[in-house]
């Protein structure tokens, strides 16, 4: 089992969500987050004053898949949907999962997904 965390531009939310639906990824969690990479934020004009914002708004998707094959399909779908070619397109993190437990039934492992 793998957990895929993808941090993408907010304007790419719909495209990534649609790409995941298209390949029939069912369970996703989405968060609004803030962060920065090497670019260290941006300058934005607020009410006529330039403000240095160190953190950028991003969308974080969390997806758990059962196999390496599903992980690769999911990663490819996210990469293609989130790509602009500009700095700040985001990152994808892949983690191995030891176990998953469904609270309602107590099922574990792949059955809990």
Could you tell me the two tokens for 110? Answer: 């792949």
pLDDT tens by residue, 56-86: 889 999 999 999 999 999 999 999 999 999 9
Could you tell me which residues come within 8 angstroms of residue 95 by beta carbon, excluding any fewer than 6 positions away?
Answer: 2, 3, 4, 5
CATH number, domain containing residue 103: 3.30.70.120
pLDDT tens by residue, 15-37: 999 999 999 998 999 999 988 77
Q: What is the mean pLDDT of the chain?
A: 91
- The count of domains in the chain is 1
Domain hosting 76: range is 2-112
């Amino acid at each position: 089992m793998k957990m895929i965390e993808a941090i993408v531009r907010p304007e790419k939310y719909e495209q990534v969500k649609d790409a995941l639906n298209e390949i029939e990824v069912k369970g996703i969690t989405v968060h609004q987050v803030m962060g920065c990479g090497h670019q260290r934020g941006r300058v934005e004009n607020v009410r006529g004053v330039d403000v240095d914002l160190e953190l950028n708004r991003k969308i974080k998707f969390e997806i758990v898949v059962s196999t390496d094959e599903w992980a690769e399909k999911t990663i490819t779908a996210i990469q293609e949907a989130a790509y602009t070619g500009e700095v700040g397109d985001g990152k994808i993190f892949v983690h191995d999962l030891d176990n998953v437990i469904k609270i309602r039934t107590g099922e574990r492992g792949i059955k809990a997904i």
